[in-house]
């Protein structure tokens, strides 16, 4: 089955020329997008006024599972690093789940993340705790001007697909539909404890990869940056906490490389591969660097 990215020539209607690349958003749109992405956090204010139910906690677990999949498998390992290949229709499904996390669209998310890898812990890194401080790396960078204007030129490989450009602009549609589904299943308790609490927890875990996983943990690989392997974030972050492993070998789908480095995200990828929905999974990490080997530079997509 041909994968969607290595097709010799995509349909003419799907090929965007450089001037058609997504642009940075206006100040007004940036404010609106930040407010929409903050809905789960703002919704937590209602916790004292809404009683939880068994259904609402089940929804919370389901939303956390869905968001974890959307972040680590979709946003990160597929769109940012192309750690496996898939078809065009399933690529759109991955983009839909990525957008449903409330962490903006796949082009926006991955453009910032690729820049993080190519400029780790330097002034060009949009969320480095060593260059900008803990609060900036954790959440503050989202309110700065660079967050609204990522360099979409480094996302040409995906920006040529109009359906992904649409998702990147209207990421709030799948995100808000999750909230509607939670209301229909569990009422307001479903919204507050399922949608808001579930999304907010995964959002904090994602933020923690940018902050804690660059400050606390072990560095088995000399990556030349501050990335760490943090076992707690490795478990609750569906493998994302093995961040030093990841900075060492960014294109590899497997972040937890030892038997005791639990990587739920990789298990999900193996399951999708078994179903035949994805293929060419990059499973073998780069060998450890030799003492004199220069630090690799790049976004980790080639």
- 203-242 binders of Zn ion (CB under 5 A): 227
> Cα–Cα distance between 290 and 198 in angstroms, integer?
42
Write the burial class of residue 208 (CB in 10 Å: 0-12 exposed, 13-18 middle, 19+ buried): buried
Q: How far is the CB of 301 from Zn ion (least distance, A)?
A: 10
Binding-residue total with Zn ion (CB under 5 A): 1
- 81-100 binders of Zn ion (CB under 5 A): none
> Cα–Cα distance between 68 and 196 in angstroms, integer?
14
- 179-198 binders of Zn ion (CB under 5 A): none
Q: For strand 278-279 and strand 85-86, is the pairing parallel, antiparallel, or unpaired?
A: antiparallel
Q: How far is the CB of 297 from Zn ion (least distance, A)?
A: 14
Q: How far is the CB of 148 from Zn ion (least distance, A)?
A: 21
User: With respect to Zn ion, which residue has the nearer C-beta, 29 or 218?
Assistant: 218
Output the CA torsion sign for 133, 137, 143, 144. Answer: positive
User: With respect to Zn ion, which residue has the nearer C-beta, 189 or 233?
Assistant: 233
Would you state the torsion angle of the CA atoms of residues 104, 108, 110, 111, taken in this order, to the nearest 10 degrees? -160
User: With respect to Zn ion, which residue has the nearer C-beta, 206 or 227?
Assistant: 227
Q: How far is the CB of 104 from Zn ion (least distance, A)?
A: 16
List, in sequence order, every beta strand (DSSP E) within the chain. Answer: 85-86, 278-279
User: With respect to Zn ion, which residue has the nearer C-beta, 56 or 230?
Assistant: 230
Q: How far is the CB of 108 from Zn ion (least distance, A)?
A: 15
User: With respect to Zn ion, which residue has the nearer C-beta, 148 or 227?
Assistant: 227
Report yes or no: 237 and 72 within 8 Å, Cβ to Cβ.
Answer: yes
- 122-161 binders of Zn ion (CB under 5 A): none
Tokens of 42: 């703002």
Residues that bind Zn ion (CB under 5 A): 227
């Amino acid at each position: 089955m041909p994968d969607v990215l290595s097709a010799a020539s995509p349909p003419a209607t799907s090929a965007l020329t450089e001037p058609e690349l997504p642009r940075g958003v206006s100040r007004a749109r940036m404010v609106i997008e930040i407010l929409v992405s903050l809905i789960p956090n703002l919704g937590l204010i209602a916790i004292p006024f809404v009683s939880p139910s068994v259904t609402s906690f089940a929804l919370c677990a389901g939303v956390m599972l869905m968001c974890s999949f959307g972040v680590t498998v979709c946003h990160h390992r597929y769109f940012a690093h192309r750690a496996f290949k898939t078809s065009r229709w399933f690529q759109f499904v991955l983009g839909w789940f990525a957008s449903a996390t409330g962490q903006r669209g796949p082009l926006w998310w991955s453009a910032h993340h690729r820049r993080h890898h190519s400029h780790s812990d330097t002034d060009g890194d949009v969320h480095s705790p060593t260059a900008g401080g803990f609060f900036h790396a954790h959440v503050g960078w989202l309110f700065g001007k660079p967050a609204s204007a990522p360099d979409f030129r480094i996302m040409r490989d995906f920006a040529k697909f109009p359906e992904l450009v649409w998702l990147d602009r209207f990421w709030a549609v799948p995100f808000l539909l999750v909230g509607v589904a939670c209301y229909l299943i569990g009422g307001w308790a479903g919204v507050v404890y399922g949608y808001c609490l579930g999304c907010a927890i995964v959002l904090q875990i994602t933020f923690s990869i940018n902050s804690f996983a660059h400050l606390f943990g072990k560095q088995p690989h000399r990556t030349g940056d501050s990335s760490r392997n943090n076992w707690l974030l490795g478990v609750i972050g569906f493998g994302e906490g093995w961040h030093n492993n990841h900075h060492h070998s960014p294109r590899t789908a497997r972040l937890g490389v030892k038997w005791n480095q639990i990587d739920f995200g990789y298990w999900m990828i193996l399951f999708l591969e078994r179903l035949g929905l994805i293929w060419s999974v990059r499973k073998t990490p780069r060998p450890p660097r030799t003492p004199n080997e220069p630090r690799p530079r790049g976004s980790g997509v080639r």
